[in-house]
Every structure is written in C-alpha cells, then in structure tokens.
Chains A and B, each alone.
Chain A
C-alpha cells in the first residue's frame, strides 16, 4: 500500500528523484563533525516549541485579569498542562543555549565566510528573532517576574536621545507596562514573530542547501576551496550520504538534547523559573532583585557599568552590528583556526567577556 501511494505521487511529482537528490545522493564531507548537527537540533527544538505553544494557546487568556490565573489553571488543572508549560519554558532556554553554540561553531570554523554570507546574516536575524520570541513570551504569564522584567527591559529604550520616551511608549502601548503591552506582546509572540521566523528558517535552509555544506577546516587533507566568480555548489565527492549515515548521527545528538530537556523539565524546572514567577503581577510592589533571564544578563550589566545608559546601549548596538556584518568585515578566505590567531584570540576574548558580564550581572 505505501508503495502504491509513493508510485502514484512519483508519477506526478517525481518525488523519488527529490528524495534521492536530497537524502541518499546528497553527500556531506567525510570529516563532518558533531557541531554540524546543531542546526537539526534547533529545528527539532523549535518544532517542539511550536507544538507545545499551540497547545498552551488553547487555555491561555491574554488579559491582565486572566493571564496569571489561566496559567495557574494550565499548571494545576489541565491534564498534562504542567508538562506543556514547563517544556515550553525550559525549551526556550535550551534553544538559546543551542543557538549560541551553533553560532559559535560557525564563527570558529569560519563558515560565515564567502559564499555563505547570506546564511550567516539570515542566521543572525533568526537569533534576534528568537530572543524577541523569548522576550515577548516572558511577559505572557503576567507574574511579578514577567511584569517587572519587561518593565526593566523596555525602560532601556528610554536612554535613546529624542526618540527614547516615544519608543518606550510605542513598545508598551502606554506609559507603563499594562493591558496594551500584553496585547501587543501576545500578538507578536503567537503570530508576528513565528510567521517571520518560518520564512527566515526557510531562507536559511535554502542557503545552506544551495551553497552546500562547508567542509570542516581541519585535518591534513583540508584544502581551501577555490574562489568562484559565478554560482557554485560545493560538492563533496566521496563523502557520506545524508541518509542514512548522517541522519543517524543527527538523531543521536537530537536524542541527547531531548534527554537534557526532559531531565531539566522534570527534575529542575526551577532552574529557569524563579520564585517570583509564581506570584501574580502587582504594578505597585517592586519585588527585590528582579533580574533578566541569563541570556540578557550581559546586556543588563553593560547598561549598568557605563556612566550613562545611552553609552551602554551604543556599545550593545555596535557589538551586535559588528557581529551581523562580520562576513563583510573579515573577508580573507582562510578558515583554518590555526592560521587565524588574531581571530581565535578575539573569539576567546568575546566568549570570556560574555560569560564574565553575565556572571557579574547575576551577582551584582
């Protein structure tokens, strides 16, 4: 029976050919390493995030009066609601961690370089969009934590000269975080950002497939690919087939990440859900020690260490812009880390600064 369905479709769409070209006959470099599986890990985690998100949406109520109690209901009354909610919350944190690892591996192996500039830029936009999804999702439970973290985060925009106050008002839909902030964050979180996200992921994957996966710049037989003046798909003759070889490896790594996700969800959900997340929002009582989530701590600390918030903000914008445009700044074709000492030194400094600022932000 399945064979007949495939035959029927094959006759009309030629799907056997598509599958062959993209699975068994799609060859990847022989020395492809574990870091290349992170993209597939991200796809899986995002798929899970969409699934749990849609199910949460059935019961969630986006209004200040009902948001918190609807989440309480999900956690306490809806069968397996607690599981969905904790998976979604823990999953978002895991995704950010994997995104950072994916980006770091692209940096270290120089795979952002020509001809993969567009892959990099679209990936960088995806990173920002993912952080946007985290930020907007954070407000939705309407807890003390979400309310005050959002207040602090949107306050930062006020440091911009001239436009600042208007921008804060635009982000919040009013002078203070309130009903209209919840409305716009909700719309962005469940519709706006996911739509954009879907389009961007499609483009990112298209870039990856079209240019061909880069050869890891390691080992004695690595030779830099020739520069081409016209479009060229990077082939890997004698490589390993995507299916079943490489997919088995991906399935393995995905399973480990899912195991990590489930382990945190069941055994340490408090790791990413602090106590103030269980108290309903109260605009009149500022709880002590509100901190943004771990992946925003660096930015939070940068705002604090500079004499003015504007300077801090400017530093962030410069850093992010440099990163976004990196392939157009660092244009040498060399990808082997051993031959890029300056880059590797900057790379390590960058990670150290990020980690250092985050820890500082956590304890300050």
Chain B
C-alpha cells in the first residue's frame, strides 16, 4: 500500500488539494488566463476551447496548474517570478506532465519510447494530446495512431496483453458504481481500484510486452482481492432481498386474510 501511495503521490497530493481547486472550477472563467486567451483567435486561443470538457478541466486542473504564472493578475500572468513556464518543447513534455503523473513518467523514461525521446520517439502529447486530454483507455492503441512510426504488430501484442486486466478493471468499476448507487460507502473500494489502475496503466508506458505479461498475475491477484470484497457486499444485498421478499409475502398474506375475515363478518351479519 505504502508502495502504491509512494508511486502515485503526485496525483494524490494534487487530489488532496482539489477541494480548493474545485471551488476555483466554478470560477474558472475568472482566471485571467482564460479571459484573455479565450478571446484570442488562432493557436493562442485554441487551447481554451480544447481544454473545455477535458479530464483535466473536469478535475479542476487549470492552465496555470500546467503552465504556471499568476491566474489573478493580467500584468503578472506571464511573469517567470510567478512560476510561468511557457509552453514546453517536445523533449520537455514528459517532465512537464511528470510533475503530477509521476509513476507513468518513470516507466515512460525507461521504455523504448522514452529512450527515443528527441530521436523519433513519441512523448505524452503525441498519444494523449496536450489540451483535449481524455480519460485513457486501451482504445488509444489502434492501427491508426500506432503506425505513424512503426508497424502495428508489437503494438497489438501489448494491447492483447493488457486487454484481460483492463476488462477486469472496468467490470469492477461498473460493479462498484452500482453499489454506490444504492448508498453503499464505496470510497475505500474506489480508492483501491484507483491505485491498482494507476499502477497498471503506467505499465503500458514501458511498451515492454514481456514485462506486462510478467506483472499481469500480480495485478490480477490484487484485483481479485477487491473483487472478493465486492462479491461479499453483493451477497449481503442478495440476502437482504430474500428477507425483504419474505416480509412482503407475509404482509400480502396478512392483507388477504384480513379481507377474508371482513367478508366473513359481513356474511355473518347478512345471514
């Protein structure tokens, strides 16, 4: 657990401060970055429109969280003293995103892709985009995007290697959402799935089929533990339904008996 926390600390740290940032989300339009850039046509304004509706926007990650600068002051918005970083060059992107996505970036740098950074290798933005970033899925691995630099063969192999675990994760996520819908407190389960998912998805970034296959068992096991907890909850819910059903049947019986009794009283009175 400590191990997992350590690896994802960047994100968790950010999420920890999220409540204050989400309040900023309401007032997102009030940051000077968006006010000024939103009004500029072309490449300088485009990021605002692309970023709207992205996973970052929905989680309250604003322009200045990535680019730095002062979001409250028109004059000092671009001031390096206020931490303005500008737009990163191609080779700087991984470190730029890696401030928050620590684990992914670690695996990325060790991979064939990371090693080839600056020599034809893809950086984060090549696959995810810079502003219109969406929730990542294995759909990102497809013949169209992965054949820009090499053949699809190895890409497909790695997609197959992660497919089983991906399916497991999404079915668990579905089950947990259904439990939460019924008012069950699923925050711990969600937390566990979140860390396993983070851990697992950074693995893809190693683009190392062997490593993915070797570590798959470990992930399946961790997910198995969570699945066990989910099943225990589902079993409990099913048990409740049996009891509830029995009570319903008894009440209907009581109702029918009472009405029969009433009928017999009435007939007695008639006769």
Contacts and interface: CB of A to CB of B under 8 A. Distances in A.
A231 interface: no
A45 B263 CA distance: 25
A265 B183 CA distance: 13
Contacts of A249: 258-259, 262
B248 interface: yes
Contact of B244 (A72, A76, A255, A263): A263
Interface residues of A, number: 35
Given A240-B266, A267-B244, A278-B181, A262 B22 contact: no
B241 A255 contact: no
B23 interface: yes
A259 B250 CA distance: 8
Given A248-B265, A278-B180, A278-B183, A262 B247 contact: yes
A149 interface: no
B255 A255 contact: yes
Given A75-B184, A245-B265, A270-B181, A262 B248 contact: yes
Contacts of B241: 266-267
Contacts of A258: 251
Interface string B239-260: 0110111011001101111110
A72 B184 CA distance: 8
B257 to A, nearest CB: 8
B54 interface: no
B216 interface: no
Contacts of B26: 284-286
A269 interface: yes
B25 interface: yes
8 contacts: A249-B258, A252-B255, A252-B256, A252-B257, A259-B248, A259-B252, A266-B248, A267-B245
Interface string B174-199: 00000011111100000000000000
Given A246-B262, A266-B244, 14 more contacts: A72-B185, A240-B266, A244-B265, A245-B269, A248-B265, A249-B258, A251-B255, A252-B258, A256-B252, A259-B252, A259-B255, A266-B247, A277-B183, A282-B22
A361 to B, nearest CB: 23
Interface string A289-317: 00000000000000000000000000000
A316 to B, nearest CB: 31
A251 B256 CA distance: 10
B22 A285 contact: yes
10 residue pairs, one from A and one from B, having the closest CB atoms: A266-B244, A255-B255, A252-B258, A259-B251, A252-B259, A248-B262, A284-B23, A251-B258, A255-B254, A76-B185
Interface in A79-138: 82, 85-86
Contact of B258 (A248, A270, A273): A248
Contacts of A273: 183
Contacts of B232: none
A284 to B, nearest CB: 4
A240 to B, nearest CB: 7
B261 interface: yes
A214 B128 CA distance: 74
B238 to A, nearest CB: 11
A225 interface: no
A275 interface: yes
B265 A82 contact: no
A245 B184 contact: no
A265 B247 CA distance: 11
B183 A269 contact: yes
A253 interface: yes
Contact of A248 (B245, B261, B269): B261
Nearest to B178: A270
Interface string A5-26: 0000000000000000000000
**Residue in A76, A258, A266, A282 with the greatest tally of chain B CB atoms within 10 Å:** A266
A285 B252 CA distance: 45
Contact of A262 (B184, B244, B257, B266): B244
B255 A256 contact: yes
A76 B25 contact: no
Contacts of B183: 75, 82, 85-86, 269, 273, 277-278
Contacts of B261: 244, 248, 252
Nearest to A253: B255
A263 B248 contact: yes
A146 to B, nearest CB: 13
Contact of B262 (A245, A263, A282, A285): A245
Interface in B120-171: none
A286 B240 CA distance: 34
Contact of B251 (A244, A256, A277): A256
Contacts of B184: 75-76
Given A255-B254, A269-B182, A278-B181, A284 B22 contact: yes
Interface in B191-248: 240-241, 243-245, 247-248
A30 B269 CA distance: 11
Contact of B240 (A240, A266, A278, A284): A266
Contacts of B245: 266-267
Nearest to B259: A252
A262 to B, nearest CB: 5
Contacts of A270: 181-182
Interface string A159-199: 00000000000000000000000000000000000000000
A255 B265 contact: no
A253 B240 CA distance: 25
A262 B25 contact: no
A285 B258 contact: no
Contacts of B180: 278
The listed residue with most A CB atoms (<10 A of its CB), out of B23, B183, B254, B256, is: B183
